[in-house]
Structure 1
């Protein structure tokens, strides 16, 4: 029996909660996973799972073995990474998660550059706008825009992102250009769906205002907001990285340039574990250098 493989399947079965999920992730079948776990139990001489019609639950011995097995696997991965580092040929699969717009508009190009530099590494770039559980979903690295950090992850602030009011010149010609924040209440406001309330917080040199807005169009995708603003749907708050090119070309115009929305922090997250594969460490360094060189991403304040 391949003991390391069986240990990995055991760990992932427990974390994912089912044999079928672990099998899908490993690219194998549920009977194969079941057989390997049964062999592992025979070798150990203990029952790792209680099996019932409701599914699997770890025994007391299974919970203890899970903690020890994870440590063994992390140490093994660290040893492999060290050897790969000596040979200069890191390899393996790296699972990266990011918000849809950030991944499609900025990270996709960075991933392609990284793959070109490291031909033995494979990357799965998983794009969605929900907060993923890194351990449960087997994610090695995740990018998160703002929000509270999950307790099971280590976070590193990569950049601070200015956010500003923008609109198309066509919309402003038709509806007029706001001269004060209070004028925004008479305009169509394009906003991200699920954002609570209609009040918009604006800031200027220590001054803060809460401005009511009216949103006839709400959408849960930043790229859709970008396009809607280009089409003249209204005024919206956008992170600078998303619209910097449109501002430079004149397709969008900054509204109330003395005022800004609260900035957004970009974090890089990875599971809270002692060891990281060499491929993950290489990608982290690679991504940090390139993201911070892009327009719209500012170095975070040392005081934060």
Structure 2
């Protein structure tokens, strides 16, 4: 039996919480995953998991064995990465998670450049706007924009993202151009559906303004906000990278351009600093270098 593979199956099955999820990750069937676990249990002569109609859970022995099994798999991957690094080779699957709009507008092209430099690496780019659990979902690196990071988060700060007010010229021609922040109270503000409250917070040097606004259109997708603004749906607070091309073309213009919203931090997260595969370390270093020169981002750090 391939004991190392059995350990991988056992570790990921516990982390994902189900045989079916593990089967999807390994590109096999649920019965096959179950057979690998059964073989490992026979080899160890210990029952590692309890199976029931509600799913599966580790036994006391299985929970203790999980920590050692995970460490063995990570150490093996690190050893392989070191050997590959000595020969300049990196291979295997790299799973990357990013917000939808950021992924489509910036990360996708970045990944293509990375793939061109490393022909033996495969990438699975997963785009969604929810905060994924890296360990549970088997993600190697994840891009995070703003928000509160978990207290145990491990990562690298990539850049600070400027945010400001924008609108389409057609909207401003119809509704008027705000000259002071308080004017926003009479305008339609397009905003993210998950943004708490309806107050727009703006800064100009030491000055701060908080303006209650009306939002007739709220949506949980940055690309939809971008399109709604171009169509004249209102004024929106947007990150520079999302609308930079539209500002350059004149389809959108800055509003109250002396004022700006609170910037967002862009962070690259990963599950652990230890035992990282070479492909993961290579991509982290690559991403840090890439964001130092991408339009719409400021103050990138390595």
Could you tell me the TM-score, scaled by structure 2's length? Answer: 0.97
| Partner Cα distance (2:273, 2:21) in 1 | 22
Partner of 1:209: helix, strand, or coil?
strand
What is the CA-CA distance between 1:56 and the residue it aligns to?
1.2
SS across alignment from 1:214 = coil
Q: What is the CA–CA distance in structure 1 between the aligned matches of 2:241 and 2:54, rounded to whole Å?
A: 47
Q: Separation in 2 of the partners of 1:151 and 1:47?
A: 34
8 Å contact kept, 1:95–1:138: yes
Q: What does residue 297 of structure 2 align with? A: 297
Distance 1:10 1:301 in 2: 38
Aligned residue pairs total 302
- Partner of residue 205, structure 1: 205
**Corresponding residue number in structure 2 for 1:134:** 134
Please give the alpha-carbon distance, in whole angstroms, between the structure 2 residues aligned to 1:115 and 1:7.
29
Counterparts of residues 111-260 of structure 1 (less than 5 Å)? 111-260=111-260
Structure 1 unaligned segments of length 5 or more: list them.
none
Taking the aligned partners of 2:122 and 2:162, their CA distance within structure 1 comes to 33
Q: State the secondary structure of the residue aligned to 1:237.
A: strand
How far is the alpha carbon of 1:124 from its aligned partner? 0.2
Deviations 1:211-233, CA, capped at 9 Å, x for gaps: 01111111111111111111111
Query: Offset of 1:152 from its aligned partner?
Result: 4.8
| 1:51 Cα deviation after fit | 2.2
SS, match of residue 137 in structure 1? coil
Distance 2:44 2:210 in 1: 63
Change (3 A) 1:300 1:85: closer
Contact kept, 8 Å, 2:166 with 2:254, in 1: the verdict is yes
Superposition RMSD in Å: 1.3
In the TM superposition, what is the alpha-carbon distance from 1:273 to its structure 2 partner? 4.7
Alpha-carbon distance in 1 for matches of 2:38, 2:58: 13
User: In 2, distance between residues paired with 1:301 and 1:92?
Assistant: 27
Deviations 1:228-269 (A, max 9, x none): 111111100000111112112222110001111111010100
Mapped partners of 1:279, 1:251: distance in 2: 40
How far residue 300 of structure 1 moved from its aligned partner, in angstroms, is 5.3
> 1:266-285 to 2 correspondence within 5 Å?
266-285=266-285
Segments of structure 2 that go 5 or more residues without pairing to the other structure are: none
Cα distance in structure 2, aligned partners of 1:243 and 1:116: 28
* CA gap 1:170/1:198 in 2 versus in 1, 3 angstroms: same
The structural deviation recorded for 1:45 is 1.4
Give CA deviations for 1:4-56 in whole Å, capped at 9, x if unaligned.
Answer: 11000000110111111111110011111111111111111111012223221
Distance 1:140 1:247 in 2: 34
